[in-house]
């Protein structure tokens, strides 16, 4: 059986599949951005993301702001970026690029704007997508004062002392520069220098006395990207200095002087002393962009550094600013990926992993094989439909593909090489962890364990989620420790983590005085947490970090949010109407939120947590001077001077909350042509209505 056709999915089926896709992507993001140890390939990640976006486009009310990478690790001080470092949407073929151009065109309504973004008229800058570590450099009066990793896009790690050792990072900018500017770029390592580094590390290992040649001391990097990331994150800057790191600059963040175009900015970068990729090119129209992509693809193998695609950016900064962002990705940029690399290997076994929501996920364990310079050994098989569709069996010779890192995607099976003993895989109907029935509702793609709280896999996965980077971010609590603590009944609920004492750990294998002190200190440091991270940590289905931020922004405090969720159990209540009025939160997400609070054990867990942690009220980002900061606005009818998308993007950029329906909490209803029932509802509630011209006058045009 093949994966369900998106066009045939019911809303309930779509909701369930989206939950699984988001969970898989969140795990992959943490492994890639925080641990520098990817668990799935770029090709597999991109396939998940494309499927998710296809489903979301058919069910817009189920769409969720695109999550970014998890929060940074705790070895370095935290740095808040002056302007978020966001991720890019991906294209995989010409049709995807065509859709990007069309979406830009559809964003505008004025003829003079549309003419600028016609298929063959839009000016772009196209450049290779470097596979390295994203970094932001802050300069004040031309002097480097701070360097930070991307982190979760909002908060990164302070790696200033290490980045200062990179020769291609200017300590002082040449010529005239803005009073303050964030320069974004990629720290990378060339292929020859990467190979030489690994040879050096191996030689150092072999030079050790035999008794010290332990597995833990043998350190080689899987690929140049991991080598660059690991080198920047060294606690000893002298180690970083010894590594052959380089830097390509390509973007700006917060600045006191914004350029007029992307191409003009590249000229400034060169004048200031930065390396800009020589293959970057200005292209007009989609055909020129695709031609440049094909040209770079031909050169890819001979380039001295790794790339995995070409990035297109709209050249005009005016258009960039107006297009803004959708979720966490810019509307004005696109990453056009290259095809994946492939290899053959043997699938040795298929095993089942149970997640925190009870989902049973099959994992393929492979005979390790080198693909594009990386040794890979396992891959997710998604669900039982995927196994049946490809007829994957233990013992099969499979074709795998890799576009970036470590774990590949299984593309196909070679039936001619199948051993006679290979049998069709039978998906379990009981949970391998607790023995409870594993059921798959009709029409859904995921089979789930029904054991709930009695299932140790679900319980431990929830605890693991609770301490992840985007949640409570507790250093020192890995999977092994969580599982051991749970089975020994030392920690059964999240609140139990905050009751751990040194005496609980002193007699445990592997725990020494220093590691105990470090763990207790890490736990103590997380007794205060922001509301959005707290909501995300609870592991509610369909509530990723982006949805958690929406809820935190809307309700402000834990008490207000909890009261509202419990009141929303009545679908006729004002609380329910207010919940589903939040832009990007529809009935499906509301259903899962209400279901969470309907469970007595969840309410008790919240009560218990309230005794041991302090949840800070959500702080709205500063939009000083904005007349609509923290106001709730609703749009209705057809706007003439901008599309609905542009109007919403502009309102959010100015600090407003955009809702989908009118309620007593609405501050402004902006009324376009052919306004419907929302206008009548606003009049009934006494909500202030504005014409499009009045709205533009209010926000300054």
How does DSSP assign 178-224, residue by residue? -SEEEEEEEEE--HHHHHHHHHHHHHHHHTS-GGG--GGG----SSH
CA dist., res. 449 & res. 437, Å (int): 6
CA angle 258, 260, 264 (to 5 degrees): 100
How high is the pLDDT of residue 228?
Answer: 94
Q: Which two tokens stand for residue 567?
A: 């009141």
Q: Which residue has the higher pLDDT, 233 or 292?
A: 292
Examine the pLDDT at 305 and tell me if it is beyond 50: yes
How high is the pLDDT of residue 63?
Answer: 60
Q: Which residue has the higher pLDDT, 395 or 402?
A: 395
Q: Where are the alpha helices (DSSP H) in 358-427?
A: 384-390
Examine the pLDDT at 553 and tell me if it is beyond 70: yes
Q: Give the pLDDT mean for 528-542.
A: 90
CA dist., res. 368 & res. 374, Å (int): 10
* Half-sphere CA count of 612, side-chain side, radius 13 A: 16
Q: Which two tokens stand for residue 52?
A: 């998710």
Q: Give the pLDDT mean for 266-275.
A: 97
CB 570 within 8 A of CB 576: yes
**Domain 632-699 CATH assignment equals 3.40.50.10190:** yes
- The most confident of 65-69, 378-382, 395-399, 512-516, by mean pLDDT: 395-399
How high is the pLDDT of residue 1?
Answer: 42
Q: Which two tokens stand for residue 628?
A: 């609509």
Q: What is the 3-state secondary structure (H, E, C) of 318-329?
A: HHHHHHCEECCE
CA dist., res. 659 & res. 632, Å (int): 7
CA dist., res. 558 & res. 509, Å (int): 38
Q: Which two tokens stand for residue 25?
A: 């992507």
CA dist., res. 131 & res. 233, Å (int): 17
How high is the pLDDT of residue 16?
Answer: 80
Q: Which two tokens stand for residue 11?
A: 């809303």
Task: Provide the pairing of β-strand 448-449 with 438-439.
Answer: antiparallel
**Percentage of the chain with pLDDT > 90?**
43
How does DSSP assign 76-104, residue by residue? S-EEE-SS------EE-SHHHHHHHHHHH
CA dist., res. 41 & res. 94, Å (int): 22
CATH of 530-616, one of 3.20.19.10, 1.10.150.20, 3.40.50.300, 3.40.50.10490: 1.10.150.20
How high is the pLDDT of residue 609?
Answer: 94
Low-confidence winner among 15-24, 55-64, 93-102, 251-260 (lowest mean pLDDT): 55-64
Write the pLDDT tens digit of every residue in 33-45: 545 556 676 667 7
How high is the pLDDT of residue 35?
Answer: 52
Q: Please provide the average confidence, as pLDDT, over all residues in the chain.
A: 86
How high is the pLDDT of residue 67?
Answer: 40
Q: Which residue has the higher pLDDT, 631 or 266?
A: 266
How high is the pLDDT of residue 469?
Answer: 79
Low-confidence winner among 247-251, 285-289, 327-331, 444-448 (lowest mean pLDDT): 327-331
How high is the pLDDT of residue 46?
Answer: 67
How high is the pLDDT of residue 50?
Answer: 75
CA dist., res. 142 & res. 275, Å (int): 16
Write the pLDDT tens digit of every residue in 434-473: 888 888 877 788 898 887 667 888 889 889 999 987 888 8
Examine the pLDDT at 190 and tell me if it is beyond 50: yes
Specify the length of the chain in residues.
Answer: 701
Nearest to 28 by CA among 61, 78, 68, 1: 68
Write the pLDDT tens digit of every residue in 640-683: 888 887 888 888 888 888 888 888 889 999 988 877 788 888 88
How does DSSP assign 616-640, residue by residue? EPPPPPP-TT-TTTT-EEEEESB-S
Whether 129 sits among the annotated catalytic residues: the reply is yes
Q: Which residue has the higher pLDDT, 409 or 396?
A: 396
Examine the pLDDT at 72 and tell me if it is beyond 50: no
How does DSSP assign 274-338, residue by residue? ----TT-EEEESHHHHHHHHHHHHHHGGGSSS-EEEEEEEESBHHHHHHH-EETTEETTEEEEEP
Low-confidence winner among 374-388, 543-557, 588-602 (lowest mean pLDDT): 374-388
Alpha-carbon distance values, 324 to 84, 250, 615, 686 (Å): 12, 18, 31, 32
CA dist., res. 174 & res. 610, Å (int): 53
How high is the pLDDT of residue 407?
Answer: 55
Considering just the CA atoms, what is the radius of gyration of the chain in Å? Answer: 26
Nearest to 377 by CA among 408, 351, 353: 408
Looking up tokens 């159990």, which residue turns up?
A: 569
Q: Give the pLDDT mean for 72-84.
A: 76
Model-level pTM? 0.60
Neighbours of 44 (CB within 10 A): 27
- The most confident of 166-180, 200-214, 390-404, 407-421, by mean pLDDT: 166-180
Write the pLDDT tens digit of every residue in 478-514: 888 898 999 899 998 899 999 999 999 988 888 888 8
Alpha-carbon distance values, 16 to 64, 316, 573, 579 (Å): 13, 40, 25, 20
CB 543 within 8 A of CB 589: yes
Examine the pLDDT at 69 and tell me if it is beyond 60: no
Phi, psi (deg, nearest 5) at residue 289? -65, -45
Neighbours of 214 (CB within 10 A): 9
- Choose the catalytic residue: 129, 146, 313, 337: 129
How high is the pLDDT of residue 621?
Answer: 61
How high is the pLDDT of residue 458?
Answer: 86
The region, left, alpha or beta by phi > 0 then psi within -120 to 50, assigned to residue 35 is: alpha
How does DSSP assign 521-536, residue by residue? HHHHTTSEEEHHHHHH
Write the pLDDT tens digit of every residue in 114-162: 888 887 889 999 999 998 999 999 999 999 999 999 987 888 899 999 9
How high is the pLDDT of residue 309?
Answer: 92
Question: What is the CATH code for 79-85+93-327?
Answer: 3.30.470.30
Examine the pLDDT at 622 and tell me if it is beyond 80: no
Q: CA dihedral defined by 81, 643, 677, 12, rounded to 10 degrees?
A: -60
Domain ranges of the chain: 79-85+93-327, 530-616, 632-699
**If DSSP codes are grouped into helix, strand and coil, which group holds residue 352?**
strand
How high is the pLDDT of residue 286?
Answer: 93
């Amino acid at each position: 059986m093949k994966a369900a056709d998106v066009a045939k999915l019911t809303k309930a089926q779509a909701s369930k599949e989206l939950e699984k896709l988001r969970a898989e992507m969140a795990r992959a993001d943490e492994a890639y951005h925080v641990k520098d140890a990817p668990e799935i390939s770029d090709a597999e990640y991109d396939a998940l993301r494309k499927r998710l976006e296809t489903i979301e486009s058919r069910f817009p009310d189920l769409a969720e702001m695109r999550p970014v990478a998890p929060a940074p690790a705790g070895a370095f001080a935290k740095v808040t970026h002056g302007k978020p470092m966001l991720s890019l949407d991906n294209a995989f073929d010409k049709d995807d690029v065509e859709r990007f151009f069309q979406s830009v065109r559809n964003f505008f309504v004025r003829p003079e704007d549309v003419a600028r973004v016609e298929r063959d008229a839009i000016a772009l800058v196209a450049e290779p997508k470097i596979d390295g570590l994203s970094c932001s450099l802050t300069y004040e009066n031309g002097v480097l004062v701070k360097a930070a990793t991307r982190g979760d896009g909002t908060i990164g790690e302070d790696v200033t002392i290490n980045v200062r050792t990179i020769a291609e990072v200017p300590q002082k900018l040449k010529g005239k520069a803005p009073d303050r500017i964030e320069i974004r770029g990629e720290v990378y390592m060339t292929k020859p220098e990467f190979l030489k580094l690994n040879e050096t590390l191996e030689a150092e290992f072999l030079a050790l006395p035999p008794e010290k040649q332990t597995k833990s001391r043998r350190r080689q990097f899987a690929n140049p990207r991991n080598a660059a990331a690991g080198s920047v994150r060294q606690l000893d800057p002298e180690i970083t200095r010894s590594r052959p790191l380089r830097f390509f600059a390509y973007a700006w963040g917060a600045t006191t002087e914004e350029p007029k175009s992307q191409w003009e900015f590249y000229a400034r970068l060169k004048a200031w002393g930065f390396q800009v990729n020589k293959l970057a090119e200005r292209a007009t129209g989609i055909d020129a962009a695709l031609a440049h992509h094909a040209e770079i693809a031909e050169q890819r193998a001979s380039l001295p550094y790794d790339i995995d695609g070409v990035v297109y950016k709209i050249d005009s900064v005016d258009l960039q600013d107006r297009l803004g962002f959708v979720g966490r990705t810019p509307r004005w940029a696109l990453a056009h990926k290259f095809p994946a690399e492939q290899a053959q290997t043997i699938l040795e076994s298929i095993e089942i992993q149970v997640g925190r929501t009870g989902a049973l996920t099959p994992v393929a364990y492979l005979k390790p094989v080198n693909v594009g310079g990386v040794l890979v050994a396992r891959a997710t098989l998604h669900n039982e439909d995927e196994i049946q569709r490809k007829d994957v069996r233990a013992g099969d010779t499979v074709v795998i593909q890799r576009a970036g890192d470590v774990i590949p995607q299984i593309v196909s099976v070679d039936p001619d090489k199948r051993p006679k003993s290979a049998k069709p895989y039978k998906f379990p109907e009981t949970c391998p962890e607790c023995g409870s029935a594993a059921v798959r509702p009709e029409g859904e793609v995921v089979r789930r364990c029904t054991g709930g709280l009695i299932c140790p896999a679900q319980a431990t996965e929830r605890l693991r989620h609770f301490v992840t980077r985007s949640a409570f971010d507790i250093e020192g609590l890995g999977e092994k420790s969580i599982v051991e603590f749970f089975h020994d009944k030392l920690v059964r609920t999240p609140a139990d983590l905050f009751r751990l004492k040194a005496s609980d750990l002193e007699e445990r294998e592997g725990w020494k005085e220093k590691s105990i002190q470090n763990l207790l200190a890490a736990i103590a440091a997380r007794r205060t947490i922001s509301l959005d991270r707290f909501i995300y940590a609870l592991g509610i289905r369909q509530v990723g970090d982006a949805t958690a931020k929406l809820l935190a922004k809307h309700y402000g405090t834990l008490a207000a949010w909890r009261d509202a969720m419990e009141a929303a159990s009545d679908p006729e209540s004002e609380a329910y109407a207010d919940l589903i009025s939040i832009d990007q939160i529809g009935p499906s997400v509301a259903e899962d939120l209400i279901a969470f609070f309907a469970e007595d054990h969840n309410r008790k867990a919240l009560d218990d947590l309230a005794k041991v942690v302090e949840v800070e009220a959500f702080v709205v980002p500063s939009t000083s001077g904005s007349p609509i900061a923290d106001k709730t606005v609703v749009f209705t009818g057809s706007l003439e001077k901008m599309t609905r998308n542009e109007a919403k993007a502009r309102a959010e950029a100015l600090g407003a909350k955009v809702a989908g329906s009118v309620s007593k909490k609405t501050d402004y209803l902006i009324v376009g042509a052919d306004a419907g029932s929302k206008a009548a509802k606003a009049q009934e509630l006494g909500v202030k209505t504005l014409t499009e011209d009045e709205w533009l006058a209010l926000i300054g045009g």
